[in-house]
Chain A
């Protein structure tokens, strides 16, 4: 199995190095506009949040997979895990704010030893949409995870899962050998308890992200292709497909640089800049919380170590008012969320 950039002691595992690359080269020379210049040119600078509606918790970087594009640099060798104490602080915030969506991500969130306890506690608080981003293969990784579909159903969890493609070759190339077959089996298990089935209350959405240095195409067209192929080939059903653009950070940045695609990819992102996507980027209504409780504008800024520009930066000091008043931190990776129809954890935004 592949190792994380951190375990390989890669220079790119350092956030400062990534930020240096994103600010240097073509952007420093001026051959391409920086993201701040670009949004200034369309009157949308500085980027400000609206109401905080989504709390996205990264409950740990440990994962049973090592995906080639992973922006978290997650894997079995990552030991960062959210503690019960931090989870309790998150529960307090959910209780006392207007957050209506709770979004658990990782790593594989299910690998956090306190995952089930947290889901049980949080689901008592009545959030409207309780999302778990499951990589699917975790359900089959160990006996103790086999009942996850029933556990999710019991708590009315909205399951969102990555499946880069409806064919084996592309999926396994990005996510590892054997991942496609296991993912299909896991999807069938989820369907069996009602997930993604017509007229079921249990929602199962899939995430597509390109397996290479290119941008996603039309989300609806992809959803149609996925639905047809997965139904015909594997009798698998799901609700919606979210097309997500790969952001040039962490392992995907490493891939772009080592395959000599970095400049062309950044050019494609800048070229596809859509001013209409800027108003609805996810950092405008989301707060991302790291395993150790720090607050970020989004999961990508979390991986770049860019804590919120607010006096209170930790979940234990969560202050909705000052967070709503902050300026969102940006760099050139933000072009990934404003390209084409835009991109967010909930798919396109424009």
Chain B
């Protein structure tokens, strides 16, 4: 067994997930490709969203992939970092907004 959970070389093998379930694998990759096409949002905007989400879901493969994709598209490092801060703000906000629940519960249980 590998001594680490993540191997950067595994990103290149992503397509192999179809080997064990061709139908669902192919449906996923078709869908994936379609999602990133130019639409109401540009492919460039979608790439930045993907980069931000990659950080939010803490996927090292996705971070590698969308940093490279952003470079290709001419996305600047300032734009990339701002996108990551958006992800961080939402994650931080998501934690903090739950504190309202904590406050409600605290007040309910307290005399």
Can you report 16 A-B residue pairs in the complex whose CB atoms are below 8 A from each other?
A: A165-B74, A167-B76, A210-B71, A210-B72, A212-B71, A214-B71, A214-B72, A215-B72, A216-B72, A217-B73, A217-B74, A221-B44, A221-B73, A222-B74, A225-B74, A271-B12
Could you tell me the dominant secondary structure of chain A's interface residues?
loop
Number of A-B contacts (CB under 8 A): 19
A212 proximity list for chain B (CB < 8 A): 71
List residues of B (64-110) whose CB comes within 8 Å of A's CBs: 68, 71-74, 76
Which residue of B has the minimal Cβ distance to A229? B74
Interface status of A267 (Cβ within 8 A of chain B): yes
A300 to B26, CA, bound (A): 39
Chain A interfacial positions (CB closer than 8 Å to B): 165, 167, 210, 212, 214-217, 221-222, 225, 267, 271
Nearest first, the 9 A-B pairs at minimum CB distance are: A217-B72, A214-B71, A217-B73, A214-B72, A214-B68, A225-B74, A215-B72, A267-B12, A212-B71
Chain B interfacial positions (CB closer than 8 Å to A): 12, 44, 68, 71-74, 76
Closest Cβ–Cβ distance, residue A149 to chain B (whole Å): 28
B12 proximity list for chain A (CB < 8 A): 267, 271
Q: A210-B72, A214-B71, A217-B72 are in contact. List 16 more A-B contacts (CB 8 A).
A: A165-B74, A167-B76, A210-B71, A212-B71, A214-B68, A214-B72, A215-B72, A216-B72, A217-B73, A217-B74, A221-B44, A221-B73, A222-B74, A225-B74, A267-B12, A271-B12
Could you tell me the dominant secondary structure of chain B's interface residues?
helix
A167 to B44, CA, bound (A): 18
Closest Cβ–Cβ distance, residue B64 to chain A (whole Å): 9
A267 proximity list for chain B (CB < 8 A): 12
Which residue of A has the minimal Cβ distance to B8? A264
Which residue of A has the minimal Cβ distance to B47? A217
Which residue of A has the minimal Cβ distance to B44? A221
Which residue of A has the minimal Cβ distance to B68? A214
Closest Cβ–Cβ distance, residue A91 to chain B (whole Å): 41
B44 proximity list for chain A (CB < 8 A): 221
Closest Cβ–Cβ distance, residue B100 to chain A (whole Å): 43
Closest Cβ–Cβ distance, residue B60 to chain A (whole Å): 14
Which residue of B has the minimal Cβ distance to A225? B74
Which residue of A has the minimal Cβ distance to B77? A169
B76 proximity list for chain A (CB < 8 A): 167
A221 to B44, CA, bound (A): 10
A271 to B11, CA, bound (A): 13
Closest Cβ–Cβ distance, residue A326 to chain B (whole Å): 35
Closest Cβ–Cβ distance, residue A223 to chain B (whole Å): 11
Closest Cβ–Cβ distance, residue A233 to chain B (whole Å): 14
